[in-house]
Structures are given as structure tokens and as C-alpha cells.
Chains A and B, each alone.
Chain A
Amino acid sequence: MYTVGASAALEHQGRRRRCFGLNIPDAEAGADVVISRLTGAMVLVACALGAAVPAPAQDASAGKAIPAAAASPADDGNWVMPGKDYASTRYSAQDEINTGNVRDLQVAFTFSTGVERGHEAPPLVVGGTMYIVTPYPNRLFALDLTKPGAPLKWSFDPKPAASAQGVACCDYVNRGPAFADGRLFINTLDGQTIAVAAETGRELWRTQLGDINKGETITMAPLVVKGKVLVGNSGGEFGVRGWLTALDAGTGTIAWKAYSTGPDADVLIGPDYKPFYDKEKGKDLGVTSWPPDAWTIGGGTVWGWISYDPELNLIYHGTANPGPWNPEQRPGDNKWTGGIFARNPDTGQARWFYQVVPHDLYDHDAINELLLLDLPVNGAMRKTVVRPERNGYLYVLDRATGEVLSADPYAAINSSTGVDLKTGELAMVEAKAPKLGKVVRDICPTAPGAKDWNPSAFSPRTGLIYIPHMNLCMDWQSSEANYIAGTPYVGAEVRMFAGPGGHRGELSAWDPVKRAKAWSVKEDFPLWSGALTTAGDLLFYGTMEGWFKALDARTGEELWRFKTGSGIIGQPIAYRGPDGHEYVAVLSGVGGWAGAVVVGNLDPRDATAAKGFATAVADLKTKTTKGGMLYVFALPQRR
């Protein structure tokens, strides 16, 4: 409950408290689930005069959010890209498995990947074949779904350089392959993009894009748009210079490359560029908003998710944290890190940019998933891009212009007080800002944020966004980062711990129209898996202990759970098999930044192990072990 006294009692659904442009959502009561409220007290720290005011009238005209039509074609039963569609809904229209029968769900088949590191990827399914890419060494497997037990059809071993393991900040993960026109595309940890023939596994081309000796790796899932494979680098903890590039899907040659720092010509900022806010305007800000030359090692990598609106012909992607983490070493806004770009996929030219975290203080990469939804705002339908950010706010932006329509906290925040919608500025809390020579205590959220890379899902049936996230806070001590190429460039020591309430994870169902949580479920461990929602009104996700769960997407009631062999940090999918029946698949295999304590067998006596994450989840070592395994589930009569 809010700890703000009597006024809380006056509040009811559809009303919200406003203070200095900050909206604090109220939770809608659900029947039999734990209703977790935001820790309003924390948000209100700098907001003592907050008073309850009636919500604007249009909130009552409860329209529903729908996915951008051009970006979410009818479900054909396949799952050809990690986000399911260009709108990144992670919604399957399959409904054979539903709230009525999910309790009968059983394992249909399994497959061991033989890799022990964190499995963050989703399987893909295309016309009777399932494709799986593993963490380093980035093996690609094709399973024949038309035969009993889904035997291996072919496998492909790209043989990346082993040394790449040393420059992967947070485990040797890979977030998935992409499929288009009979080809599969994968990125390798050592900085290559490779195309193979989907039918045979034969290599078609490979292009070296990153240099591990500069600390560059690639972990993101590519996205194929109009014959171009979009790929961005990782390495924001190594002083690399971030970029997104487009490769010709047929040949692997580079069509364009957009850097996240440097002169406008390198960033592909030209005549098309029309940002909404004044703060994003100016010449060569990618140079001038940095100390001399700091932009050359300033980060802003593009390791997260990309969405595409065919109607506006714009792709949307984020840029990660500036480097080093120690903010005092890089006075200025540090453009174009920590923000969202809209670009023309044909040329790469920027249309707009919004810097979510100017001069980022906390490693708040702005690379999370971008859901393309149309929804009513102030009575009018708007084409929006919606994103639960690492900094704890759920942003709704106009996806044509980059205007912020709302930014509401979905998790505990005490390091900022809200976003001014007129200027787009995020108001920070001075007392929580890192200072050299000082330990700043109890900062919420943490460096990995209220939520990291693991994507949410959106159901057009419920109108809700299902956000798997964390509830952690941290102590932070800045130090002098020292740039040595090929080694990390961080300059901060961090220690994380459970946030208010003591639970470390949470699954929140968010109503983007009401701008409030519909319901939420607390989890002991941080959630590091993606979410999947289906037309059977189910929500699937996994926990770091290894539970794979199905919830009622309307109420949050848990309907089914299955214990897999290792912790789950992968992205579940649903598909229609060659037999016409629905299947749900997920990779189990703990790891990632959150699971590094297990896969790296780290020593949590050192609270700074894994950049402060290891101690926060030290007990995970007693709950699960490493090892990658595919699990596919179906209703029993189908086996």
C-alpha cells in the first residue's frame, strides 16, 4: 500500500495522484492474486506536496490498446523473429491451450544444447522446423518437427574465437536468430553476422563486424527489414563506440552504419532528422556533449531490441549506456547514448531521437523492447511506441514524432522523481547521484534497472502489457576508470540487494490506457526471462529457479507450473506444429548477468562480484545448476 496516509483511502480506480508531472499509478484490484502496489513512499520522497486529483476524464473512456496493424499480421502459426512480429508483441493467436486445459500441459519433447552458459534466446519455428541458437559457441540447431521426437535435422557450428568470452560483460549470451526468405541469420560473440540456408544449414555468407580487441561483441538478435539484416554491437562496459548497421540479406555487404556517438555524418543525422524536443536539437551533439574525444570510447551500443512500423517506414532502436559508468568522467549529455532512435530502414537516416537518460548516472541502457501499439491518449487514438525502461518508468511515445505522451513508474524508484512531458526531461534526485570518493547508498532501481533486456508481451485480447521485472536496489561507489583497450572501462563498484518488500522479482500486468497496474505477482528471484501471451488468455514466463509458469492473463492466477532442469532466462514462444496442434517452447539454462553467480561459480563473499549482482542472488547457487535444454509442451492427446 502507499504509505501516504489518509489520502490513499480516498483514491480509487481511475484516479491518480499527480505531483510535479509525475503520475503514480493505482493498482486495480484483482480477485485472488497478490496485488503489489508501487512503493509510493519512495517515489514521493521529493514530492511531499502531492495531492490526490481526479484523473482526466478521458481515462474513463476505456478504449483498448491494439498492436500497430501493419506491424502485426495474422498469426500463421510460425514464430520467425524473437518479437513474434515487427510490433514486438510476443503474442500468439494460438488458443488450443487455454485457461481451461492448461493444467494438463505436458512435455512433448526436449533437446540438450550441450552448452552451459545462459540461454537467453527464443526458439524459432518455420514450417515444420525449429531453430535454436546457443550462447557462445553460438551453435545453431535445426529440429525436424514433422518426425516423432523432433530429431536433429542439421547443425551449424560457426566456431567463434574463444577469447571473445573475455570481453562479454555479462555472460556469453545470444538473444536469438532471425529468419527471412529461406535464410537464418545469427550473430556470434566474436562479432560476426552469419547467414545459413534454413533448409540445409549451409553457410551462405559471413561478415566480420566487431573487433574483440576493442571489447566489441555481438549478443543481440538481428532483425530483418526489407531485405536488410539489422545488427548492433555490445561492449558498453569496454569503452567501445556503439553502432547499428544494415547488411544486405543476400550478400552480407554493409548498406549503412549508424554510430551512436560522434559527428552527425557518422550518426546518420541529416535533413530528415526532426526530433520533438529542443534538447535533442543541435549540430554534432555526439561530439559536443562530451569532454574532448570521450565520444570515441563512449559506448551507446545497440545490443537490444528493434521494432519496425512498415506504415511509417521507421525502425525503432535504443542506445545503451555511456561509458564509463562513472558519470563524473564524462560531463555533458553524452549524446546519443541512453535513448531511442527512429530511423529510415532504407538509408539509416535518423527521423527522431529521444534521450531517456541524458548523462546516464546508473548504467541505464535504453535498449529494452519497443512495443508498437495504437492506443487512446487524451481521447484520441495515437500511434505509439511503448517501453518499460530500465530507469523504472513505462514510457509511451508518439512513434511518428518522438513526443513523450506519458512516463509512469512501474517499479520502486528513488533516484528520480519523474518526467516533464513538456521538455522531456527526467528529474533526478541529487542525493542519489554518484560522487567520486563517496559510497551512495540505497539507490533504486539498480544498474541492471527495474527491468533489463528480457522482453514483455502484449495481448490485444486483454489490452495488457506483461512485464517481467526486478525489485532490487544498490549501493554505488564511483572510482576512476582507466581505459585499456580490450579490458572493461567501468569505474564503479556496486552492491545490489532486494528492494522494498524483500521480493527480488515481479511480473506486472500493465494497462497502458489506464496507465496503471492491473495486477502483479511477486517472485523471489529477479525475473530474467521473457514473457509470452496467447489467445488462450495465458501468460507464460520462467523463473531463475527453473519454474516455467502459466498464468491466467486476465487475473494473474497461476494455473500451471513445471520445473525445468535449470533456471529459465529464455524467451518462451507458442506455435502451431505440423500436426495442427499448439505447442509452447522455452529454453532452460540459467546465466546472464543475473545468473553469473551460478554459471561462473562466482564467490559471493565479494559483494562486487558480477558488478554487484552475485550477492543479491547468492542463494541461487543452492537452487539451480547450469545447463541448456529445450523444453516443448503440448496437451497430452497430441503425443
Chain B
Amino acid sequence: MSSPCRSAVSLAALAVLTVAACDREEREPRGAPVGDSGPAAITQGTLYAGQPSPPGPSHREYEGNAYHISQGKQLYVWFNCGTCHANGGGDIGPPLMDDQWIYGGTLENIHATILQGRPNGMPSFRGKIPEQQVWEIAAYVRSLSGQTPKAASPGRSDSLNAKPDEQRMPREEPKGSSPGGPNLEGRQ
């Protein structure tokens, strides 16, 4: 039987992992924050002491860019996000295409979730995915619930057509538990 299992897909992912693992070796001893995703830049609750802070530094270029989002879509598969979250409908992990966010639905929140992991079973990918790719994945996750501009969202899935394309997803209005989402970050 011909074995298609050593395809470019897994090789590429392996390479990414290897490179990323080297990065970690260099970075970890100083414990430096990764990018600007440190605790200071991220809000996880919807309660503020005093006035709400202005939004953190923007990585909006990822959300408006069709190339980054389609890269993010590939990486979402390669890093096995889809094996726990399906094509956004959820499985072991919660759905990512709906209007509910436990840890926040902004680009920064999702970036932080991917790097830090979350206590009830979301693995930390810190040191495993290069910084720019984390932003790309986060932008793609945003497209799952229609948060990215239609023109930039992926239009056709190569899966068994399990759900409407990201482009055709109605924009979900993040509900109460979504810090900063609707008010500070969410609107285009």
C-alpha cells in the first residue's frame, strides 16, 4: 500500500516545531514576556477598576489581511487546533464560532489563550508556535465567528463542507462574558 503519511504537511509542521523549540531554548532562561501579550496588555474580565483602559497595541493588520488569515487557517490544522475545536463548532474544547468567550474574544485574548494555555484543558503552545503565526491563527479564529472583514475571510473550505465558509458566517456579537470584545475591540 502506498503510504501518503509522510506528506509535506507533517514535515512542514515538524520543521516549525523544531525551529520553535530552538527559539524557546534561547528565550526561556530570562523568562521574558512573549511579544506584548503579557498580563499587562490583556483583559480577561468585564469589570474594570476606574475607567476602562484604552485598547492595547493593535495587531489589526492580521485581521484585515487575507493572506495572514488563510495562513492562520492552515496553521490551525497543522497545530491540531481543529482536533479539539473541530472546524469551530467545538469538541473537547469550546466552540470558537459562537458568541461566547470564556477568556475573551479579542485578537489579543485569543493570542494569549494560545500561548498561555487555559486551566481546563487548553494546552499552552508557548515556544511551539512562532510569534507571527500565533497572530495569524488568532486572526483566523476571529474569522470563524465573522469578526474579520468579509473580503479578508477564507471563502472555500477543503474539508467535507461541514459548515458555512468563514466568509459567509454571520457576525456573532460577543455576549456578556467577553471582555472588551464588543465595546473596545470588536467593531470594524
Whether A245 sits at the interface, judged by CB under 8 Å, is no
**B-chain residues with CB within 8 Å of residue A165 when the two chains form the complex:** 92, 120-121
CB contact list, B67-109 vs A, under 8 A: 77-80, 83-84, 86-95, 97-98, 100
- With A480-B9, A487-B123: A604-B89 Cβ-Cβ less than 8 Å: yes
A residues contacting the other copy or chain, number (CB 8 A) = 44
- B160, A495: Cβ atoms closer than 8 Å: yes
Distance in angstroms between the alpha carbons of A607 and B122 in the assembled complex: 22
Distance in angstroms between the alpha carbons of A330 and B86 in the assembled complex: 23
- B5, A603: Cβ atoms closer than 8 Å: no
**Nearest-CB residue, chain A, relative to B7:** A480
Distance in angstroms between the alpha carbons of A480 and B1 in the assembled complex: 16
**Nearest-CB residue, chain A, relative to B93:** A166
- B162, A328: Cβ atoms closer than 8 Å: no
- B89, A614: Cβ atoms closer than 8 Å: yes
Distance in angstroms between the alpha carbons of A484 and B20 in the assembled complex: 13
**A-chain residues with CB within 8 Å of residue B7 when the two chains form the complex:** 480
- B123, A493: Cβ atoms closer than 8 Å: no
B residues contacting the other copy or chain, number (CB 8 A) = 38
Whether B46 sits at the interface, judged by CB under 8 Å, is no
Distance in angstroms between the alpha carbons of A507 and B1 in the assembled complex: 40
- B123, A486: Cβ atoms closer than 8 Å: yes
- With A169-B92, A490-B83: A606-B162 Cβ-Cβ less than 8 Å: yes
- With A477-B159, A482-B9, A608-B86: A601-B100 Cβ-Cβ less than 8 Å: yes
Distance in angstroms between the alpha carbons of A164 and B160 in the assembled complex: 30
- With A477-B159, A606-B88, A607-B163: A484-B121 Cβ-Cβ less than 8 Å: no
- Among candidates A168, A482, A603, residue contacting B88 with C-beta atoms closer than 8 Å: A603
Distance in angstroms between the alpha carbons of A600 and B102 in the assembled complex: 13
**A-chain residues with CB within 8 Å of residue B93 when the two chains form the complex:** 166
**B-chain residues with CB within 8 Å of residue A495 when the two chains form the complex:** 160, 162
- B86, A331: Cβ atoms closer than 8 Å: no
- With A328-B1, A328-B4, A606-B162: A600-B119 Cβ-Cβ less than 8 Å: no
Distance in angstroms between the alpha carbons of A479 and B4 in the assembled complex: 10
**A-chain residues with CB within 8 Å of residue B162 when the two chains form the complex:** 493, 495, 606-608
Per-residue contact bits, chain B 41-61, to A (CB 8 Å; 1 contact, 0 not): 000000000000000000000
**A-chain residues with CB within 8 Å of residue B86 when the two chains form the complex:** 602, 606, 608-611, 614
Distance in angstroms between the alpha carbons of A614 and B94 in the assembled complex: 13
Whether B164 sits at the interface, judged by CB under 8 Å, is yes
Q: How far is the CB of A492 from chain B (nearest CB, A)?
A: 10
**B-chain residues with CB within 8 Å of residue A482 when the two chains form the complex:** 9-10, 13, 78-80
Q: How far is the CB of A47 from chain B (nearest CB, A)?
A: 26
Q: How far is the CB of B17 from chain A (nearest CB, A)?
A: 7
- B10, A488: Cβ atoms closer than 8 Å: no
- A609, B89: Cβ atoms closer than 8 Å: yes
- Among candidates B10, B122, B160, residue contacting A480 with C-beta atoms closer than 8 Å: B10
CB contact list, A198-220 vs B, under 8 A: none
**Nearest-CB residue, chain B, relative to A331:** B1
Whether A31 sits at the interface, judged by CB under 8 Å, is no
Q: How far is the CB of A321 from chain B (nearest CB, A)?
A: 15
Distance in angstroms between the alpha carbons of A600 and B121 in the assembled complex: 13
Whether B188 sits at the interface, judged by CB under 8 Å, is no
Inter-chain contact total with CB atoms closer than 8 Å: 138
Q: How far is the CB of B99 from chain A (nearest CB, A)?
A: 10
Distance in angstroms between the alpha carbons of A6 and B60 in the assembled complex: 69
CB contact list, A437-468 vs B, under 8 A: 439
Q: How far is the CB of B36 from chain A (nearest CB, A)?
A: 26
Q: How far is the CB of A602 from chain B (nearest CB, A)?
A: 4
CB contact list, B142-188 vs A, under 8 A: 159-160, 162-164
Distance in angstroms between the alpha carbons of A493 and B93 in the assembled complex: 16
Distance in angstroms between the alpha carbons of A217 and B32 in the assembled complex: 33
**Nearest-CB residue, chain A, relative to B88:** A606
- A166, B121: Cβ atoms closer than 8 Å: yes
Whether A254 sits at the interface, judged by CB under 8 Å, is no
**A-chain residues with CB within 8 Å of residue B119 when the two chains form the complex:** 162-163
**B-chain residues with CB within 8 Å of residue A168 when the two chains form the complex:** 92, 121
- Among candidates A166, A291, A606, residue contacting B87 with C-beta atoms closer than 8 Å: A606
Per-residue contact bits, chain B 1-32, to A (CB 8 Å; 1 contact, 0 not): 10111010110010001000000000000000
**Nearest-CB residue, chain B, relative to A486:** B123
Q: How far is the CB of A343 from chain B (nearest CB, A)?
A: 32
**B-chain residues with CB within 8 Å of residue A558 when the two chains form the complex:** none
**B-chain residues with CB within 8 Å of residue A606 when the two chains form the complex:** 86-90, 95, 97, 162-163
- A493, B160: Cβ atoms closer than 8 Å: yes
- With A165-B120, A480-B9, A608-B87: A601-B95 Cβ-Cβ less than 8 Å: yes
- With A329-B5, A477-B159, A482-B10: A605-B97 Cβ-Cβ less than 8 Å: yes
Q: How far is the CB of B168 from chain A (nearest CB, A)?
A: 11
Most chain A beta carbons < 10 A, residue from B3, B9, B17, B83:
B83
Whether A475 sits at the interface, judged by CB under 8 Å, is yes
Which residues of B are in contact with A by a Cβ distance under 8 Å? 1, 3-5, 7, 9-10, 13, 17, 77-80, 83-84, 86-95, 97-98, 100, 119-123, 159-160, 162-164
What are 28 of the A-B contact pairs (CB < 8 Å)?
A162-B121, A163-B119, A163-B123, A166-B92, A166-B93, A168-B92, A331-B1, A475-B160, A477-B160, A479-B159, A482-B10, A488-B92, A493-B87, A493-B159, A600-B95, A602-B86, A603-B88, A603-B90, A605-B89, A605-B97, A605-B163, A606-B86, A606-B162, A607-B89, A607-B160, A608-B86, A608-B87, A610-B91
Other than the given A328-B3, A607-B163, 18 more pairs (CB < 8 A) read A162-B120, A163-B123, A166-B92, A167-B121, A168-B121, A291-B5, A329-B4, A483-B10, A487-B79, A488-B84, A600-B90, A600-B91, A601-B95, A605-B164, A606-B163, A608-B159, A608-B162, A610-B91
